[in-house]
Structure 1
Amino acid sequence: MAYVEAAVRRGQLIRAARSVLARTGVAKTSLRAVATEAGVPLGTLQYVFPGKELLLRAVIEDVVDEIAEVLRALADAEHGLEHAIRTALTSFWTQLVDEQHWGDQLMQYELTVYSLRAAGQEELARWQYERYANVIAEWCQLAANNAGETCRVPFGQLARIILAGIDGLILQHVCDPNQTRSRENLDALIDSFVSLTRA
C-alpha cells in the first residue's frame, strides 16, 4: 500500500466515517465498516483512531467546522442585518436540508446525543452549539455594523434563538418531510428573527 501522509489519511478516514454514519447510524457503525469504506486495512484505521470514540469525536469536529464555514460563507454582510439573515438561512436550507441530505442531518443529531451520553464526551455537544452560535452572532454583528444598524437584542441571544428555531424546524422536517410546508415555516421563522432585531 502506498504511503499516505497522516493528515491526508486522517481526512480520508473521517470522510469514510461520515459516509457510513449517514448511511447506517452511530449504533451500527463499526471501525471495520469505516475501514472497508475507506479502502484501508483495519489496522491502518486503528493506528490513526485507536477507538470508536476518538473517531466519532473527529467526525463531530469535522461536521461542526464544515457547517460553521457554510454559515459564514452564506452570510452576505454587505446589505444589512435583515438581508444577511434572510439570505444565509434560505441558502443554508437549500444547500443542507433538502431530501438528499437527510442522512447527514440524522447523523448530526445522533452525534450530538452520543456526545451527551458518552462519558467524557459531554463537552463536545456544548462546543458544537457554541461554535454554531458564535458564527451566527459574528455575521449578524458584521452585517449590522456594515450598515450602521443596531439590534434590539444582543447578538449572542439572537444567534441562539436563530439556532434553536432552525434546529427545531430541521428536526420537524426530517420527521415529517414536506418541502412546501417547511419552506413556508422557514419564511415565517425568518420573519420572527428579523422582528427581534428591530428597535
Structure 2
Amino acid sequence: MSDSGKARGPREQISADERRKLLVAAALRVMKRDGIAAASTRAICAEAGMPHGAFHYCFHSKKELYAALLASDIEIDLGAAWPHISPDADPVENIRTLLMAFWSQIESDPDGQLVLFDLGSFALHDPELQELPILEHAASLDKASEYITRLGAEARLEFLQDERILAELVLDILNGVAWSWLSHRDNDLARQALERFATLAATLVRKAPDTTT
C-alpha cells in the first residue's frame, strides 16, 4: 500500500470529496497492479486504508466509481503550458506546446492509461455501463473545445473549421497515438507523430487580424 493509502488516525477528518478522490486513486492502483476484475469494493477500501463501509458512503455503486475513473482521463492540467502561448509565436509552435504538455502527462503513467482504455472497453461490453464511455467522450469533447477556444483567444488565431470538429480530430489523434504508444512504448516515435500533427493542425488556422492598432 502506498503512503496515500495508509490508514488515517481516528481523529483525522477528511471531507467526502477527499474520500472520493482517495478511493478513485486507490481503485486505479489496484487495477494497475491486479487488473479490473480484482478491484472489488473491499480491495479498493483496503488499498485506501478505509473501512469497507466508506465506499458506499462515497459512491452509490461501482458504476459511479467507474464513471469517476473514466472522468480522470480528462482532468489533465495544462496550466503550466498557457504562459508559453504567445500571439507572436508561429501557430505550429503554439499548437505543439499544448500537445506536448498534454502528452507529457499521458507519457508519465502508461499503466494508468492502459487501465482507462481497458475500463472503457469493459464498460462497452456491459449493458449497465455502456453509457459511461459515451458520457466520457462527450465530456472530453467539451474540454478539448474549451482548450481550442482558449488557444484561439490567447494566440490570436482564427480557425478554418468548426471548433467542435477540430476538437474531435484532436481527440482521435491523441487516442490513436496513445494506443500505438502503449504497444511499442517508443516515446520518441509518439512525440514525432504529435509533431507532425501539430504541423498539419496549423494549416487549419490563420492569424487573426490585430485590432489593437
* Structure 2, unpaired ranges of 5+: 1-9, 208-213
CA contact (8 A) 1:71 1:92 kept: yes
Matches within 5 A, 1:1-199: 1-2=10-11, 3-49=13-59, 51-61=61-71, 63-67=72-76, 70-71=77-78, 74-75=81-82, 78-79=86-87, 81-98=91-108, 101-198=109-206
> Contact 2:148/2:163 (CA < 8 Å) preserved in 1?
yes
- Separation in structure 2 between the aligned mates of residue 73 and residue 135 of structure 1, nearest angstrom: 17
SS of the aligned residue for 1:150 comes to strand
Task: Confirm or deny: 8 A CA contact 2:74 2:143 kept in the other structure.
Answer: no
Query: Could you tell me which amino acid in structure 2 is paired with residue 74 of structure 1?
Result: A
What amino acid is aligned across from residue 33 of structure 1 in structure 2? A
**% identical aligned pairs:** 26
Q: Distance in 2 between matches of 1:122 and 1:145?
A: 36
Aligned partners of 2:167 and 2:79: how far apart in 1? 13
Give 2:6's aligned residue: none
Determine the C-alpha separation between the residues in 2 that align with 1:72 and 1:193: 21
Q: Does structure 2 conserve the Cα–Cα contact (< 8 Å) formed by 1:152 and 1:197?
A: yes
TM-score by length of 1: 0.82
SS in 1 for 2:99: helix
147-156 or 72-81, larger mean C-alpha shift: 72-81
Which protein is richer in helix relative to its size? 1
CA distance in 2, matches of 1:173, 1:52: 29
- 2:154 & 2:182 partners in 1: Cα distance? 36
Question: TM-score, normalization: structure 2?
Answer: 0.78
